[in-house]
Amino acid sequence: MLRTGRFVTFMALAGLMYLYIPIFIMMVLSFNGSRLVSVWGGFSFKWYGELFSNDQLLNAAWLSIRVAGFSATLAVILGTLAGYVLTRFGPFRGRVLMAGMVAAPLVMPEVITGLSLLLLFVAMEDFIGWPQGRSITTIVISHATFCMAYVAIVVQSRLAQMDGVLEEAAQDLGARPWRAFIDVTLPMLAPALISGWLLAFTLSFDDLVISSFVSGPGSSTLPMVIFSKVRLGVSPDVNALATILIGFVGTCVFIYSWRAGRRMRMCEDA
């Protein structure tokens, strides 16, 4: 175990406070009865009431959930194949290009991705008549494309940890490659696929910039609605929405890390 001094501990805790204080403040403000940030108007649930009577926000949230679900599923299928091909297939022609294409979306500025995909969709509609206009379909394709890069990274690192011995054994015993993949590789990959799906879902659910480029009229996702609201300043029902989302994600992440930590401790004790 690495030893560090008091200075590192102090700096690290200060850094974590920097990460958490704004989130904490936003959560407290969501229960503030006053519309003003600097005035405490008593504890109240009124912004939550306002949030759940705002049809525009609720419709956008439902659209975002559907988009994120489809995109994440598509991204997991494509990303798993990409990650598997890159770690298990050895050299093939164009492998370097593929590795580059899988890594590049991680750093590509969103405005470039959004603009380029929109221009592609416009050109495709011109040439082959599909996709007709911009809709949920174009958002899902765009999100799946940048999310599959994240899934591929998660799958690649998981595959690098497991050696290929079990897959080879299955093939030595006569299983075709795809049988070995389905019966041996996939079950071992399952945790990575679940976290990849959740990551892709979150990234798609949060995306503002790419969606703004490739969505059509009537398909405003939740971040697009939030952005147009908060551009004009603080809006208390957005605080309430943020508290619900962060509370939900926070609970999931902490249950997961607590269980992982407990499993780890049991391994250490054993």
Residues 168-227, interacting with other proteins (CB under 8 A)? 173-175, 177-178, 199, 202, 205-206, 208-209, 212-213, 223, 226-227
Quickly count: other Cβ atoms within 10 Å of residue 72's Cβ: 27
Please enumerate in sequence order all residues whose Cβ is within 8 A of that of 50, keeping only pairs 6 or more positions apart, or say none.
Answer: 236, 237, 240
Rounded to a whole number of angstroms, the minimum distance from the CB of residue 203 to other proteins is: 9
Give the per-residue contact string, 135-174, with other proteins (x = CB under 8 A; - = no).
Answer: ------xx--x--x---x--------------------xx
DSSP-derived 3-state class of residue 33: coil
Q: At what angle do helices 110-128 and 136-161 cross, to 10 degrees?
A: 120
Considering all CA atoms of the chain, what is the largest pairwise distance in Å, rounded to the nearest integer? 72
Minimum distance from CB of 260 to other proteins (Å)? 5
Question: Of 169 and 190, which has the nearer Cβ to other proteins?
Answer: 169
Q: Per rule CB under 8 A, is residue 122 in the interface with other proteins?
A: yes
Establish if 71 lies at the interface with other proteins (CB under 8 A): no
Q: How far is the CB of 55 from other proteins (least distance, A)?
A: 20
Nearer CB in complex with other proteins: 190/230: 230
Our finding on whether 129 is near other proteins (CB under 8 A) is no
101 lines the binding site for other proteins (CB under 8 A): yes
- Span from 46-54, 129-137, 160-168, 258-266 in contact with other proteins (CB under 8 A): 258-266
**Dist CA 159 CA 166 (whole Å):** 12
Is 22 an interacting residue with respect to other proteins (CB under 8 A)? yes
**125 Cβ partners below 8 Å, 6+ apart?**
131, 132, 133
CA distances from 60 to 64, 124, 164 (A): 6, 27, 44
Retrieve residue 157's tokens: 């690192």
